[in-house]
């Protein structure tokens, strides 16, 4: 007999290192052809941080995204940005890149104010132009760069960011270990065959507070990937260790989700801008993984009344729990 259930899993997640120094730095240089180079130690390991850093810099300088070129994690030329871990790079390296771009932007505004004969705080940079908001007069950034060349001015910027944290007191455990937090709620729809113990995860709805989504499509993909990993963690993955040796070191016996195992996933982006984040953004890497398995466990409980507390959830565990609680 198949029974359906719905479960909810919630989480909070501290962005960055726990109560430890957590700095990142970046360099930005604007070129005469209206392009810019970004140097950052932020390693893009597939999460798309190169794209995110380019978008942040493009927004700050008023340049086209396609003209921003990112060099990342090259120890020969890039400054230190810390590890790509703890869902920290969008928030921390993003802030560093924004600060570096703001320094370069200030130089552009200074020279633009000379060309437009106005105060620099009345100028906006957008779409490759400097626009005087009071008169609507404008000058192209290529013209500003030509003037910079005449005056021997390099349009460069450096930026660093280290979020304010307070280490946890070892006795009271009080402190402020993170500058910001991510929050999420997942809802899982499951189906359990109470005769065979077979589990199907049919659907996951995942709502994530990401601050501000710099690149919504990337955020949705990150959430989807986390849900796949969470479902795999819940129902398949089990590292077997005996006498300090891994017993299933191959993918033939360490099972992970395939495309046929993936549930329907509905990512929901919740935007509550983080005041200290770059344009309100914060991390969404690991948070996408965390609530799925608890939601699945709660879904099984809702469907069957069986409270399982050990992962992965195998057919045998469901049947054993049923027998333990007096079922047939």
pLDDT tens digits along 183-214: 999 999 999 999 999 999 999 999 999 999 99
pLDDT tens digits along 61-112: 999 999 999 999 999 999 999 999 999 999 999 999 999 999 999 999 999 9
Contacts of 80 (CB under 8 A, 6+ apart): 23, 24, 25, 41
Three-state DSSP at 116 gives: helix
- Give the span between the Cα atoms of 223 and 208, in whole angstroms: 8
**Any alpha helices (H) in 119-258, and if so which ranges?**
141-151, 216-235
pLDDT tens digits along 135-163: 999 999 999 999 999 999 999 999 999 99
Which amino acids are annotated catalytic?
Answer: 286
Q: Is the pLDDT of residue 263 over 90?
A: yes
pLDDT tens digits along 36-48: 999 999 999 999 9
Are the CB atoms for 237 and 256 separated by under 8 Å?
A: yes
pLDDT tens digits along 232-244: 999 999 999 999 9
Enter the DSSP assignment of 250. Answer: S
Predicted local confidence at residue 66, as pLDDT = 97
- Give the span between the Cα atoms of 59 and 129, in whole angstroms: 13
Predicted local confidence at residue 326, as pLDDT = 76
pLDDT tens digits along 265-295: 999 999 999 999 999 999 999 999 999 999 9
- Give the HSE-up count for residue 39: Cα atoms under 13 Å, Cβ half-sphere: 15
Q: Is the pLDDT of residue 56 over 70?
A: yes
Average pLDDT over all residues of the chain: 96
Q: Is the pLDDT of residue 328 over 70?
A: no
Q: Does the reported pTM lie above 0.85?
A: yes
Contacts of 20 (CB under 8 A, 6+ apart): 165, 167
State percent of the chain over pLDDT 70.
Answer: 99
In Å, how far from its chain's centre is CA 212? 11
Enter the DSSP assignment of 158. Answer: E
Cis peptide before 226 (omega within 30 of 0): no
Residue 195: both structure tokens together = 């005769």
Predicted local confidence at residue 223, as pLDDT = 98
Residue 234: both structure tokens together = 């819940």
Domains and their CATH numbers in the chain: 2-14+184-325 (3.30.365.10), 19-161 (3.30.365.10)
Residue 278: both structure tokens together = 């770059």
**Alpha-carbon dihedral of residues 271, 277, 278, 280, nearest 10 degrees?**
20
Predicted local confidence at residue 327, as pLDDT = 64
Are the CB atoms for 28 and 100 separated by under 8 Å?
A: yes
């Amino acid at each position: 007999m198949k029974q359906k259930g719905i479960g909810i899993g919630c989480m909070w997640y501290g962005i960055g290192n726990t109560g430890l120094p957590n700095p990142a730095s970046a360099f930005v240089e604007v070129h005469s052809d209206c392009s810019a180079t970004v140097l950052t130690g932020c390693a893009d390991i597939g999460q798309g941080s190169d794209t995110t850093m380019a978008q942040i810099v493009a927004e700050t300088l008023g340049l086209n995204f396609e003209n921003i070129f990112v060099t990342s994690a090259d120890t020969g030329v890039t400054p230190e940005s810390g590890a790509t871990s703890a869902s920290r790079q969008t928030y921390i390296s993003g802030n560093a890149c924004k600060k570096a771009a703001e320094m370069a932007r200030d130089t552009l505004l200074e020279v633009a104010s000379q060309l437009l004969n106005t105060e620099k705080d009345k100028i906006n940079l957008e779409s490759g132009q400097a626009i005087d908001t009071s008169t609507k007069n404008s000058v192209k950034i290529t013209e500003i760069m030509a003037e910079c060349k005449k005056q021997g001015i390099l349009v460069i910027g450096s930026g660093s960011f280290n979020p304010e944290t307070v280490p946890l007191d070892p006795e009271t455990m009080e402190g402020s270990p993170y500058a910001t937090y991510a929050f999420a709620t997942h809802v899982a729809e499951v189906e359990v065959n109470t005769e065979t113990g077979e589990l199907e995860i049919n659907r996951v709805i995942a709502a994530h507070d990401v601050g501000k989504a710099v690149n919504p499509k990337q955020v949705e993909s990150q959430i989807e990937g986390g849900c796949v990993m969470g479902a795999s963690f819940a129902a398949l993955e089990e590292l077997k260790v005996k006498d300090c040796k891994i017993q299933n070191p191959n993918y033939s016996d360490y099972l992970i989700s395939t495309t046929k195992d993936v549930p329907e996933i509905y990512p929901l982006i919740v935007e509550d801008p983080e005041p200290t984040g770059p344009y309100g953004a914060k991390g969404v890497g690991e948070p996408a993984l965390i609530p799925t398995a608890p939601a699945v466990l709660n879904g099984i409980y809702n469907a069957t009344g069986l409270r399982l507390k050990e992962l992965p959830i195998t057919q045998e565990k469901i049947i054993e729990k049923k027998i333990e609680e007096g079922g047939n």
